[in-house]
């Protein structure tokens, strides 16, 4: 059937108003009920019991909790394991109950509650539960974005995870003979401001940087959080650490799409209202607090999953009781790569394009260190 191409006149048209998804909380009780429901099911053929958390505003093509981020609740019963699978999406996982073993490419490690790890694109992965309890994890990926682009690649053909490791190379790997075809395609300067012409070889022989699965064990991370927890409430930054993957370089990510941070806020801490183009999802690991997002007040507590910062929405968070601790997943590195990471630290300050401005946003860390 012939498809008719439309020409749409947009001459003088105003910018489209962005339709922000509202902030929502999936409470701990609902998460626990879903865990028990998944555990009651017969084992699926691929061993993967999972539920995807879908925002009420999501219109597909796949479930998503933020426009470009999905969150899966994944459950393995004792003695079970999943079949290997390989995808072009990247993932960040946190164990929230029990323990298990992750096998990702050539990497294998034991995971326990609150451990975090990443799965690179096109690395086969599988999980097994070698404990007596359920092995439950939250898994975040950029699948919704790739599905929207109709380019999400999935290979469920069983592979030998001990031998198979795809796309793990080092920078500037030479072809046989020691010289790359790219070396012969010399750059041609155009103009006087740095513009160049590059041959086809530069498009298909990009310098590569090893992308591997990294593991942040909770028992090693937790002691360091006491440092940010003990900082004075006058600190103008966030009381957190980024789980940094060096392969993401200046994008400061845990995966190439997301950063994962773990924050531990002291009692009585209230963030200043701010906004950024990256979306954020918080899993409350301990404590309680409240947020104001686009003028809407919302409360949350330990075990809740909070879509806390719809892109470019004005928001702030405050601790209650003794404070709170949270894992935040945010598509910050993706926006840096696209040169679209807009950030306004307070509504009185100018909008920054982080990663491109001459200088970034500064905090009063120096004063905090002197006080300590």
Residue 249 is predicted with a pLDDT of: 96
Query: Nearest CA to 362 among 372, 370, 352?
Result: 352
pLDDT score for 165: 45
Please check the confidence at residue 168 and state whether its pLDDT lies above 80.
no
Report the distance separating Cα 57 and Cα 68, nearest Å. 13
Q: Do domains 24-155 and 215-355 have the same CATH topology?
A: yes
Residue 189: CA count within 13 A, CB half-sphere: 4
200 phi and psi angles, rounded to 5 deg? -55, -35
Considering the chain, what percentage of its residues have pLDDT values greater than 70? 94
Contact 291, 308 (CB under 8 A): yes
**Cβ atoms of residues 27 and 16 within 8 Å:** no
Report the pLDDT averaged over residues 201-206.
94
% of the chain at pLDDT higher than 90: 88
Q: Does 356 score more than 50 pLDDT? A: yes
Is residue 159 very low, low, confident or very high in pLDDT (cuts 50, 70, 90)? low
Class (C level, CATH) for 24-155? mainly beta
pLDDT of residue 1 exceeding 80, the answer is no
Per-chain mean pLDDT for the chain: 93
Decide if 145 contacts 62 (C-beta within 8 A).
no
For range 120-145, the mean pLDDT: 97
What are the tens digits of pLDDT across the range 234-281?
A: 999 999 999 999 999 999 999 999 999 999 999 999 999 999 999 999
Q: Is the pLDDT of residue 225 over 90?
A: yes
Q: CATH number of the domain at 215-355, please? A: 2.60.120.10
Q: Return the domain boundaries, the chain.
A: 24-155, 215-355
Q: Assign residue 294 a region: left if phi > 0, alpha if psi is -120 to 50, beta otherwise?
A: left
Q: How confident is the model at residue 169 (pLDDT cuts 50, 70, 90)?
A: very low
pLDDT in tens, 57-72: 999 999 999 999 999 9
Report d(CA 215, CA 137) in Å as an integer: 14
Determine the pLDDT at residue 74: 98
Which pTM does this prediction carry?
0.93
> Band of the pLDDT at 177, cuts 50, 70, 90?
low
Burial string for 158-195 (b: 16+ CB within 10 Å, else e) reads ebebeeebeeeeeeeeeeeeeeeebeebeeeeeeeeee
Lowest mean pLDDT among 81-95, 232-246, 326-340, 349-363: 349-363
Does the pLDDT of residue 160 top 90, yes or no?
no
């Amino acid at each position: 059937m012939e498809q008719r191409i439309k020409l749409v006149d947009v001459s003088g048209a105003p910018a489209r108003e962005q339709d922000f998804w509202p902030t929502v909380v999936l409470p701990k009780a609902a998460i626990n009920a879903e865990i028990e429901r998944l555990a009651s099911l017969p084992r699926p053929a691929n061993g993967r019991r999972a539920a995807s958390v879908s925002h009420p505003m999501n219109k597909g093509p796949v479930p998503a909790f933020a426009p470009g981020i999905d969150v899966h609740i994944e459950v393995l019963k004792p003695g079970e394991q999943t079949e290997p699978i390989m995808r072009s999406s990247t993932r960040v996982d946190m164990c929230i109950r029990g323990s298990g073993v992750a096998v990702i490419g050539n990497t294998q490690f034991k995971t326990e509650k609150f451990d975090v790890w990443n799965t690179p694109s096109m690395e086969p992965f599988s999980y097994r539960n070698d404990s007596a309890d359920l092995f439950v994890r939250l898994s975040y990926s950029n699948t919704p974005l790739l599905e929207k682009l109709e380019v999400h690649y999935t290979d469920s053909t069983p592979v030998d995870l001990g031998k198979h490791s795809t796309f793990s190379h080092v920078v500037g790997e030479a072809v046989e003979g020691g010289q790359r075809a790219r070396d012969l395609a010399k750059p041609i300067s155009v103009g006087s401001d740095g513009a160049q012409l590059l041959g086809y070889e530069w498009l298909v022989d990009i310098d590569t940087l090893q992308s591997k699965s990294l593991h942040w064990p909770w028992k090693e991370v937790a002691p360091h959080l006491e440092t940010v927890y003990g900082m004075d409430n006058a600190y103008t930054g966030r009381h957190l650490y980024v789980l940094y993957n060096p392969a993401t370089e200046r994008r400061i990510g845990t995966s190439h799409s997301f950063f994962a941070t773990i924050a531990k806020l002291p009692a009585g801490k209230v963030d200043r209202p701010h906004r950024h183009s990256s979306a954020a999802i918080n899993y409350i690991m301990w404590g309680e607090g409240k947020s104001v997002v686009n003028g809407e007040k919302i409360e949350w507590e330990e075990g809740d999953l909070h879509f806390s910062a719809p892109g470019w929405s004005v928001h702030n968070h405050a601790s209650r009781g003794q404070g709170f601790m949270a894992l935040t997943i945010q598509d910050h590195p993706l926006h840096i790569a696209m040169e679209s990471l807009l950030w306004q630290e307070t509504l009185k300050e100018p909008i920054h394009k982080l990663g491109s401005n001459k200088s970034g946003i500064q905090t009063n860390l120096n004063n905090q260190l002197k006080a300590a």
